[in-house]
Amino acid sequence: METKRLLIDDLARKEQALREAAELIRQGEVVAFPTETVYGLGANALDSSACAKIFEIKGRPADNPLIVHVASVPEAKKLVKDWPPEAEICARQFWPGPLTIVLPKADCIPDIISGGLDTVAIRMPSHPLALELIAKAECPIAAPSANISGKPSPTEGEHVWQDFCGKIPLLIDAGKCKVGLESTVLDLSGKTPLILRPGGVTWEQLAAVLGKVELDPAVEGGFLISDSLQPKAPGMKYRHYAPQGEIVLISGHKEQRIAQFISRLNNKKASERMALLCFEETAVALREAAGGVSQPAIAKADLVFLLGSRKNMAEAASRLFKGLRLCDQHKIGIILAEAMEEKGIGRAFMNRLKKAAGYKKDRL
């Protein structure tokens, strides 16, 4: 199949791309489009065979349900059995935006979307192209992240191109995604709102408007070590967001982090390809540090990817997946990745990093 890549760099192109994409979706095809979180691989959510193509193209396990994207709150209400007050509060406060809510599903939702569950996950994205596409297609759009299952999510059109060129008819390429991490998944089908996946909307923001909000204990880690702790969002149980190389998390206070980086770099074997995913402040400190005779330790790294300043957690979050993908391109075997504090967007950043590391005890 030939994949058309429509770059959105002016208004005329935008209209044409949206018209073509909406038409393909109506015909039961799958197209890739940008959202503010990551790129999505979208199909008509009310068409089972169109949705089946998403699973096939991505290599996504059938028990991992899809998020349904809508362009308005009334549209969301049609997809669920009940619209509780918490859903109304969340929609008013955080939609359009990076928050997905899980509610008991209406009969119109095909089983393939919900992976056998009796709930459905819904989101209204804020990216204008995503909103316009849903409106033009005149149907809700089921769209998981547009990456081959298991790989880091795509935050640029180029990432989608790398994974799906020749496998989908159309990619709408609008450059970089602003948030760069997937949406927060919030389960509102139980007694207490429960975060199934941390993401673009933080726990703190949700608690401020909903009061008590819990975090699925499986999310914080350990479920790959203990079978008894299974996450409620099926997708969270898979090793995910992962580059080919092994990730070593570098945590602790500043001096500890610097010492770990230096020790790992100085003990690097000649045959090993090593990358650093670190903050600018750390890179500066490493450049100043002497490793071996007079060479700074950082010069021993085969790739240094800067996450931005430690003061700007949102920027680091938006750059993480790009960094992980770059490691694959540079055939990196060991990735030394700098940790950040698990609060605000840092919770989602660390969740992705730990999952990419495989949640192995000895790597945490």
Give which of Mg ion, ligand AMP, none residue 44 binds (C-beta under 5 to 8 Å, depending on kind): none
Interface segment toward Mg ion; rule CB under 5 A; list 66-74, 76-84, 143-151, 201-209: 143-151
Q: Which helix (H) or strand (E) holds 112?
A: helix 111-114
Structure tokens at 113: 């979307």
Of 35, 44, 119, 126, the one binding ligand AMP (CB under 6 A) is 119
Q: Does 37 bind Mg ion (CB under 5 A)?
A: no
Whether 195 contacts 203, CB under 8 Å? yes
Which residue, 114 or 282, is less far from Mg ion as judged by CB? 114
Residues pairing with 42 in the sheet: 31
Instruction: Determine the Cα–Cα distance for residues 38 and 69; give it in Å rounded to an integer.
Output: 13
Which residue, 236 or 286, is less far from ligand AMP as judged by CB? 236
Side chain identity at residue 337, one-letter code: A
Q: Does 194 bind ligand AMP (CB under 6 A)?
A: no
Interface segment toward ligand AMP; rule CB under 6 A; list 63-71, 212-220, 269-277, 279-287: 63-71
Residues pairing with 80 in the sheet: 105
- Which residue is associated with the tokens 């504090």? 341
Q: Does 96 bind ligand AMP (CB under 6 A)?
A: no
* Binding residues for Mg ion restricted to 177-216, rule: CB under 5 A: none
Interface segment toward ligand AMP; rule CB under 6 A; list 61-69, 84-92, 281-289, 303-311: 61-69
Residues 6+ apart with CB under 8 A from 305: 275, 276, 277, 278, 319, 322, 323, 326, 327
Number of residues counted as binding ligand AMP (CB under 6 A): 20
Whether 178 contacts 36, CB under 8 Å? yes
Give which of ligand AMP, Mg ion, none residue 120 binds (C-beta under 5 to 8 Å, depending on kind): ligand AMP
Phi, psi of 164 (to 5 degrees): -125, 10
Taking the complex as a whole, the smallest distance from the CB of residue 292 to ligand AMP amounts, in Å, to 43
Interface segment toward ligand AMP; rule CB under 6 A; list 173-181, 229-237, 301-309, 338-346: 229-237
Structure tokens at 67: 């998020």
Maximal CA-CA distance, the chain: 69
- Which residue is associated with the tokens 């990196």? 332
CA distances from 37 to 48, 63, 108, 201, 276 (A): 25, 23, 26, 11, 24
Spatial CA neighbour of 124 closest among 183, 55, 174? 183
Q: First CA to last CA across the chain, in angstroms?
A: 42
Q: Does 123 bind ligand AMP (CB under 6 A)?
A: no
Taking the complex as a whole, the smallest distance from the CB of residue 81 to Mg ion amounts, in Å, to 26
Taking the complex as a whole, the smallest distance from the CB of residue 24 to ligand AMP amounts, in Å, to 20
**Closest residue to Mg ion using C-beta atoms:** 145
Which residue, 114 or 145, is less far from Mg ion as judged by CB? 145
* Binding residues for ligand AMP restricted to 164-183, rule: CB under 6 A: 182
- What is the contact surface with Mg ion in residues (CB under 5 A)? 145
The residues of the shown chain that bind ligand AMP, judged by CB under 6 A, are 64-65, 67, 102, 114, 117, 119-121, 144-145, 182, 185, 196-197, 232-236
